[in-house]
Copies of this chain bind each other. A is one copy, B any other.
Amino acid sequence: MKKGQSSKTVTIKDVARQANVSITTVSRVLNNNDYFVSEQTKQHVLQVIEELKYRPNALARGLHSSKTRTIGLIIQDITNPYYPKIVEGVEKRAQNSGYTIILANSRRNPEKTAQYLEIMWEKRVDGLIMVGSNIIEDVRKNHFFHESEMKTVAIGKPQDAMLHSVQIDNLEAGREACRYLMSLGHRRIAMITGSDTSVSALERENGYRQAMKEAGIEIVPDYVIRGDFTFEGGIRAVEKMKRIGGKDGITAIFAQNDQMGIGALNALKNRGIRVPEDVSVLGFDNIQAASFVTPALSTVAVPMDRLGETAMDTLERLLNEEEVETVQYLPVHIECRDSVGECRV
């Protein structure tokens, strides 16, 4: 423990001293505020900075400017295969433009969301991206969210039409999915819904109902089974279904997410029902596991990476005070794999 050489972290002062200029000048070359500093001094200062490996203290900077180049990303549950892709999308664009992400994983707990918002406010994040209707609502009602007047973009459908958002059109997606099944000859199409608190779930269901109606097919109430977005929920749903396949059984199952779709696949295997020969199964989301299972799950592919990327792009434009359309829809497509086939009856 020697005394003299305490390796203090190098500040702008050190650079100034070493370069024989004022800190003002250093600050100027640092910010490239070409505000009048001679090329010569500039180069010299730059060299000293390099020598000393000086990096400005972001706290000091932020304190003064109230800009932190940090954004908050609030999600429900990083463990859900749906989210990591979104996170990556956001992260990609964020890093690209010099923003850092504070990750807030609410674990579906509104209280945690509130805590995180308070922290985001304390840390003066420049903006916020939030994913999922629940979160969006939790945030919208929060005091500190309003206090901060944070620029925000939602991934998903906000109640408040004023909020900027990036979404997929769940109704249209449900409709298309259903039409796709009908185009293969299916008429007796069952649906495993999402949890009844989910807005997306409801819209997908409406899309399905609408498509059926348009095709003049009456929906047997038994064909719509409440699910909960879990693997087990998918299994239970299939167990509840009466007749599957055969002359007047269900010929196709449309699950509102892949987890349930995969659950359905497993339950069908257990009941000795072949997919897609006896019944087709269509999922939603296109998580990685969908391509791992056998038969590989056909699904409505949500562009999760693009959602993240677009959200970050939008946020950035908001932060730059540029105009952006309030709601942006991203297209889905149907990823055809092995679990959906033509109707055989």
Contact = CB atoms under 8 A, between A and B. Distances in A.
B81 A288 contact: yes
How often does this chain occur in the complex, in copies? 2
Q: Is the interface of A mostly helix, strand, loop or mixed?
A: helix
A interface residue count range (under 10 / 10 to 19 / 20 to 34 / 35 or more): 35 or more
A77 B92 CA distance: 11
Nearest to A63: B59
Nearest to A148: B9
A262 interface: yes
B87 A103 contact: yes
A269 interface: yes
A254 interface: no
A77 to B, nearest CB: 8
Contacts of A112: 95
Interface in A108-133: 112, 115-116, 118-119, 121-124
A78 B88 contact: yes
Nearest to A122: B58
Given A292-B262, A292-B266, A78 B87 contact: yes
A226 interface: no
A84 B79 contact: yes
A289 interface: yes
A62 interface: yes
A306 interface: no
Given A265-B294, A294-B294, 15 more contacts: A53-B147, A58-B122, A59-B123, A70-B102, A79-B88, A81-B288, A84-B84, A87-B105, A91-B103, A95-B112, A95-B115, A103-B103, A231-B291, A266-B294, A288-B289
9 interchain residue pairs of minimum CB distance: A289-B289, A103-B103, A58-B122, A59-B63, A58-B123, A59-B62, A78-B84, A91-B105, A262-B292
